[in-house]
A and B are shown apart, each in its own frame.
Chain A
Amino acid sequence: MHVLAASALEDLFRAFLQGLPPGTVYALFALGFVLTYKTSGVFNLAFGAQAYVSAAMFFKAREQWGWEIPPALVLSVFILAPLVGLLLEGVIFRHLRTAGDLPKLVVTIGLAVALPNLFNVLASFEPTPGVTPAGIVPDGATVFYDPFGVYPFSRDELVAVAVAVVAMTALAGLFRFTAIGLRMRAVVESPRMTELNGIPADRISAVAWMLSSFFAGIAGVLIAPRFNTLAPGDFFGLMVIAIAAASVGKLASLPGALVGGLGLGVFIAEANTFLPRWAESSSWLEPLQDNLTPAIPFMVLFGILVLVPGIRRAKAATDPLAGVDPPPPSIGMVERSRRDVLLSRVAGTVFVVGVLAIVLTQGDQVWVFRITEAVALATIFLSITVITGLGGQISLCQGAFAATGAFAVFQLVDRYDMGAIPAALVGAVIAAALGALLSLPVRRLGGVWVAIATLAFAYFFDSVVLQLPFVGGGDTSLFQGTAVPRPVVGPWDLGSDKSFLVFAVVVLAIVAVLVVNLRSGTLGKTLLAIRGSEVAAQSVGISPGRARLVAFAVSAFIAAIGGSLMAMHQENVNYGNNFEPFLAVFWLVLVAVLGVRTVSGAIQGAVAFTLFDPLILKGELLGWILRSPESVPGVFPIVSTWVFILFGFGAIQFARHPQGILEYQLHRRAVKAAEKRDGPGPGPPDGSSTGAEVDERTEEPVG
């Protein structure tokens, strides 16, 4: 008995030591993250991408150019990383100071997608699969030191700890002893006073960004040896861990981030040690045990949210320097006449039906397949229209909801021989319940918390839920395929691709009508009011929590319908290709760029996703225009990476025109028309002209 206890203690201590090196790196990550959030109010979800860029640069310099370690380190961490920070601040975020939380968040998400791809293209870098990146010391993996005789530290690990300690000490020294550090602290502690004292806002902001980007870079290079292959997605997941660490300090405290990072590192190591033992007796722990690291952020975040209710009143950090110049007045919303709305709806429908007719009669199998995929994806994207466009909340787990629908069809058909369509409906109801449940702890929090909570859930789903036998069907089933049948509707068997396309379009149309109805009904109006002013909405008796819960549930329902449609279309769930978290993040970017409030925005997003690569980048369209595929210029085919780069950077304009490019263009045309009519400039027009026109106007944007 005594021996057993001693060995358990020893294991505890070993896991503690083992958790320290990754813990310090998480802490570095979290520190850099909190630094930009506090000093510039930007919740920088591109942070993982910044870390990736440095890690990839280091890898490239070492492995492909054969550089020595010191110059490679200087280039990647001391030059490239701060430069990226400087550019992001100077070119993008400085100009977004007055934008709201939501647009800024979307911009960083866009960058998270665009930056790694841009680096890969510019540096013609292709991560070599299966090649573990080396650390910043030679022979990093060799055991170097075993202080207590329980856990041997490798050289990489020790260096990681040492570098992290030096970097944190330097940061503390900077804050304590330098003028710029003092000013940054001033910004953090009393923004108003900083403004009044005439402290140069731009410089502080630039320095903060460079610093935090440097932290991202160093953390990226230090953590890289833990991955088998360099992949942007892993760094994104790593950032989610760092955010969970930062949430220990309510996303606002640097010491809190430090403690959180270390704590998480140790916690993960302890859990990795002890979970397998417990799992022997309780088998439900098994899926958790295999994928603990990606599952932890979710558990920690939700643990904090549920157990520390005080955090739910934590205020989102706004840019402390934003007050320096007040936000520009919003362009007055100009409503289009009912005739215009009707006209564009009819035109849109005619166009869609026309395309459909051509594809069905003329299209080959490839085209039918592409268009069906776009239709299924558009259905999923409409869920983003509901939660982000109407609800004003960023949900990054729409992929998980869609996958819920897809897996429900697979499981229910497989196990209970249910029809595909009832199975899809059951799946959608399950997803809706999941969405409602998920929204409970975050529905009163600001947009930033919703974004990270949903992101953490996406990774939890990806790593744990998916492994459950009644979801992904267990390991083997996931690999062997999760087959999904085509549905049978009454007398029609939708086995053929063309008949299924028709079915998919019908489903999309139903969902689109649903979204338009919700938008113009009580829920839409209520959500619009909450988005405008939550306190004011409450003051007329609206319960924001309830409205958001409904929005989440509806959105999850729609996503699941779309997901099951996608699975039926491909006759397989294909989770990794269709629904994985990083991909779902890109969905949001696409829809945000093209129009997050309208049905047409969602459809165009889906079309862009499926057709942009083959048509534009692979030169099919040009070939068709030139009438001969052979005469397409040599630059084609362009790598599909550009889809991510173009739309990722496209997200930047979302901050300026949150209604999306297309809606913005329509809007501008309407404003011009109104100016022609009423004379230039906004201002209360005389009553006689509006009074008569009132009834011909309509409130909603075109669907």
Chain B
Amino acid sequence: MSALLQVTDVTKTFAGIVALDGVNLEVEVGERVGLIGPNGAGKTTFFNAMMGVIPADTGRVELGGVDLSDRPVHERARAGIGRTFQRTELFTDSTVRDHLLVAERVRRGHGRFWKDVLGLGRPTDDEVAQCDQVLELLGLRSLAAEPIERLSLGQCRLVEVGRALMTEPTLLLLDEPSSGLDRSETAALAQTLRDVQDEQGFAILLVEHDVELVADFTTRTYVLDFGRVLTEGPTHDVLNSPEVRAAYLGTMEPTG
């Protein structure tokens, strides 16, 4: 059986500097996979290349057997890749619920122009209910009508997760979700994610600095260094391998 996400031989060069050098990566259905690496290892570049934000020089990105390599960002999103952002990317002047509503409308794909013209474009009760269900799941239900500017960073990250979930992704990419959060906030976020994932069954690819979160959250991990996959395997083994600890973790105590 082939993997849900199959990234094959992705290479990206910036003005002669090889940022990604033949990266291969797989994520199975419903799996939680980590991607770690020191600063400048190419994590973000990989992320962007996979989403189509920057065009890769070579390589294939397949999701569920469908080749997405030449598709623009929004089509990859529609194909089932949801994502969050390291520096939160939110819709200013919108409420929490608005963030989810617009995603829900796009997913349903019935935002026809003529409906807007006739004044039938407002959110339906059904859509609102759908959004509120996800907000409930994330513990944001009581903040639904709040403007996004009033939320804490931790809550904003959850809104991003909720927005991504509205697209009903088969794969959720989390880009350093712990950055800017303290330990307890990170733990809470991880717990929420795990609960939601149990319910909905999507796979997660976690790009993270926080080794503890990776150890705690993922079952398998890739280590990226200088644009190459240094090693890959069960998280516990990877984090304890001498190679990885030398290259990246320094003197850190074994974990997980």
Q: Contacts of B115 on A, CB cut-off 8 Å?
A: 521-522
One of A330, A522, A683, A693 near B116 (C-beta < 8 A): A522
Over the window 656-685 of chain A, the binary record of Cβ atoms lying under 8 Å from chain B Cβ atoms (1 yes, 0 no) is 000000000000000000000000001111
Contact (Cβ within 8 A) B147 A690:
no
A699 at the interface (CB under 8 A from B): yes
Q: Contacts of B72 on A, CB cut-off 8 Å?
A: 538, 543
Contact (Cβ within 8 A) A518 B116:
yes
Rounded to whole Å, the gap between the CB of A41 and the closest CB of chain B is: 19
Contact (Cβ within 8 A) A532 B93:
yes
One of A525, A685, A693 near B102 (C-beta < 8 A): A525
Task: Count contacts on A: residues with CB < 8 A to the other chain.
Answer: 48
Contact (Cβ within 8 A) B94 A693:
no
A694 to B90 alpha-carbon distance, docked (Å): 21
On whether A526 and B111 interact (CB within 8 A), knowing A517-B118, A520-B121, A535-B89, the answer reads yes
Q: Contacts of A520 on B, CB cut-off 8 Å?
A: 119, 121-122
Over the window 530-549 of chain A, the binary record of Cβ atoms lying under 8 Å from chain B Cβ atoms (1 yes, 0 no) is 01110111111111100000
Residue of B85, B99, B150 with most chain A CB atoms under a 10 A cut-off: B150
Q: Contacts of A533 on B, CB cut-off 8 Å?
A: 89-92
The stretch of B58-66, B163-171, B178-186, B203-211 in contact with A is B163-171
Contact (Cβ within 8 A) A539 B107:
no
A498 to B147 alpha-carbon distance, docked (Å): 46
One of A333, A523, A524, A531 near B149 (C-beta < 8 A): A333
Contact (Cβ within 8 A) A542 B101:
no
Q: Which of A489-517 contact B (CB under 8 A)?
A: 513-514, 516-517
Contact (Cβ within 8 A) B113 A523:
yes
A230 to B66 alpha-carbon distance, docked (Å): 63
B3 at the interface (CB under 8 A from A): no
Over the window 69-95 of chain B, the binary record of Cβ atoms lying under 8 Å from chain A Cβ atoms (1 yes, 0 no) is 000111101100011010001111111
A69 at the interface (CB under 8 A from B): no
B155 at the interface (CB under 8 A from A): yes
B18 at the interface (CB under 8 A from A): no
Q: Contacts of B99 on A, CB cut-off 8 Å?
A: 529
Contact (Cβ within 8 A) A517 B164:
no
Q: Contacts of B78 on A, CB cut-off 8 Å?
A: 541
B105 at the interface (CB under 8 A from A): yes
B188 at the interface (CB under 8 A from A): no
Contact (Cβ within 8 A) A694 B145:
yes
B2 at the interface (CB under 8 A from A): no
A329 at the interface (CB under 8 A from B): yes
Contact (Cβ within 8 A) A529 B145:
no
B247 at the interface (CB under 8 A from A): no
Rounded to whole Å, the gap between the CB of B163 and the closest CB of chain A is: 6
One of B91, B144, B150 near A683 (C-beta < 8 A): B150
Contact (Cβ within 8 A) B121 A333:
no
Q: Which of B31-81 contact A (CB under 8 A)?
A: 51, 53, 72-75, 77-78
B103 at the interface (CB under 8 A from A): yes
Contact (Cβ within 8 A) B102 A540:
yes
Rounded to whole Å, the gap between the CB of B50 and the closest CB of chain A is: 12
Contact (Cβ within 8 A) B167 A540:
yes
A149 at the interface (CB under 8 A from B): no
A550 at the interface (CB under 8 A from B): yes
On whether A682 and B150 interact (CB within 8 A), knowing A540-B103, A697-B145, A699-B98, the answer reads yes
Contact (Cβ within 8 A) B145 A526:
no
Contact (Cβ within 8 A) B92 A531:
yes
Contact (Cβ within 8 A) A541 B89:
no
Contact (Cβ within 8 A) B116 A539:
no
A518 to B141 alpha-carbon distance, docked (Å): 27
A198 at the interface (CB under 8 A from B): no
Residue of A331, A332, A540 with most chain B CB atoms under a 10 A cut-off: A540
Contact (Cβ within 8 A) A513 B119:
yes
B252 at the interface (CB under 8 A from A): no
A683 to B151 alpha-carbon distance, docked (Å): 7
A520 to B92 alpha-carbon distance, docked (Å): 16
One of B91, B143, B145 near A693 (C-beta < 8 A): B145
On whether A538 and B77 interact (CB within 8 A), knowing A520-B121, A526-B106, the answer reads yes
A638 at the interface (CB under 8 A from B): no
B117 at the interface (CB under 8 A from A): yes
One of A516, A521, A685 near B146 (C-beta < 8 A): A685
A550 to B143 alpha-carbon distance, docked (Å): 32
A691 at the interface (CB under 8 A from B): yes
B142 at the interface (CB under 8 A from A): yes
Over the window 124-159 of chain B, the binary record of Cβ atoms lying under 8 Å from chain A Cβ atoms (1 yes, 0 no) is 000000000000000001111111011110010000
Contact (Cβ within 8 A) B142 A691:
yes
A340 to B72 alpha-carbon distance, docked (Å): 42
A521 to B146 alpha-carbon distance, docked (Å): 20
Q: Contacts of A523 on B, CB cut-off 8 Å?
A: 111, 113, 116, 121
A193 at the interface (CB under 8 A from B): no
Q: Contacts of B82 on A, CB cut-off 8 Å?
A: 539-540
Rounded to whole Å, the gap between the CB of B168 and the closest CB of chain A is: 10
Rounded to whole Å, the gap between the CB of B82 and the closest CB of chain A is: 7
Contact (Cβ within 8 A) B102 A333:
no
On whether A536 and B163 interact (CB within 8 A), knowing A682-B149, A687-B142, the answer reads yes
Closest to A334 in B: B147
Contact (Cβ within 8 A) B149 A332:
yes
Rounded to whole Å, the gap between the CB of A523 and the closest CB of chain B is: 5
A332 to B145 alpha-carbon distance, docked (Å): 12
Contact (Cβ within 8 A) B107 A541:
yes
Closest to B52 in A: A538
Closest to A689 in B: B142
Q: Which of A314-349 contact B (CB under 8 A)?
A: 329-335
Rounded to whole Å, the gap between the CB of A326 and the closest CB of chain B is: 13
Contact (Cβ within 8 A) A539 B73:
yes
On whether A687 and B150 interact (CB within 8 A), knowing A533-B90, A542-B102, A543-B72, the answer reads no
A575 to B231 alpha-carbon distance, docked (Å): 70
One of A529, A535, A543 near B94 (C-beta < 8 A): A529
A528 at the interface (CB under 8 A from B): yes
Closest to B112 in A: A522
Q: Contacts of B143 on A, CB cut-off 8 Å?
A: 684, 687, 690
Rounded to whole Å, the gap between the CB of B92 and the closest CB of chain A is: 4
Rounded to whole Å, the gap between the CB of B97 and the closest CB of chain A is: 8
Contact (Cβ within 8 A) B90 A333:
no
Closest to B115 in A: A521
On whether A541 and B119 interact (CB within 8 A), knowing A335-B145, A525-B98, A536-B91, the answer reads no
Rounded to whole Å, the gap between the CB of A313 and the closest CB of chain B is: 9
Contact (Cβ within 8 A) B119 A539:
no
Contact (Cβ within 8 A) A517 B116:
yes
On whether A684 and B150 interact (CB within 8 A), knowing A539-B73, A540-B163, A541-B167, the answer reads yes
Contact (Cβ within 8 A) A690 B146:
yes
Rounded to whole Å, the gap between the CB of A467 and the closest CB of chain B is: 35
A531 to B121 alpha-carbon distance, docked (Å): 19
A517 to B62 alpha-carbon distance, docked (Å): 39
On whether A684 and B151 interact (CB within 8 A), knowing A330-B92, A538-B74, A691-B141, the answer reads yes
Contact (Cβ within 8 A) B73 A528:
no
A694 to B118 alpha-carbon distance, docked (Å): 25
Rounded to whole Å, the gap between the CB of A53 and the closest CB of chain B is: 36
Contact (Cβ within 8 A) A518 B121:
yes
Given A539-B51, A684-B150, 18 more pairs with CB closer than 8 A = A330-B93, A516-B119, A522-B113, A523-B121, A529-B102, A532-B89, A532-B93, A533-B89, A533-B92, A539-B89, A540-B102, A541-B74, A541-B103, A542-B106, A682-B149, A687-B143, A699-B95, A699-B98
Chain A residues with CB under 8 Å of chain B are: 329-335, 513-514, 516-518, 520-526, 528-529, 531-533, 535-544, 550, 682-688, 690-691, 693-694, 697, 699
Considering the complex of A and B, which 10 residue pairs feature the smallest CB-CB distances, nearest first? Answer: A521-B121, A687-B142, A522-B111, A532-B91, A521-B116, A536-B89, A540-B103, A533-B89, A333-B147, A517-B119
Chain B residues with CB under 8 Å of chain A are: 51, 53, 72-75, 77-78, 82-83, 85, 89-95, 98-99, 101-103, 105-107, 111-113, 115-122, 141-147, 149-152, 155, 160, 163-164, 166-167
What are 6 A-B contacts defined by CB distance under 8 Å? A333-B149, A522-B112, A525-B101, A532-B90, A539-B85, A550-B113
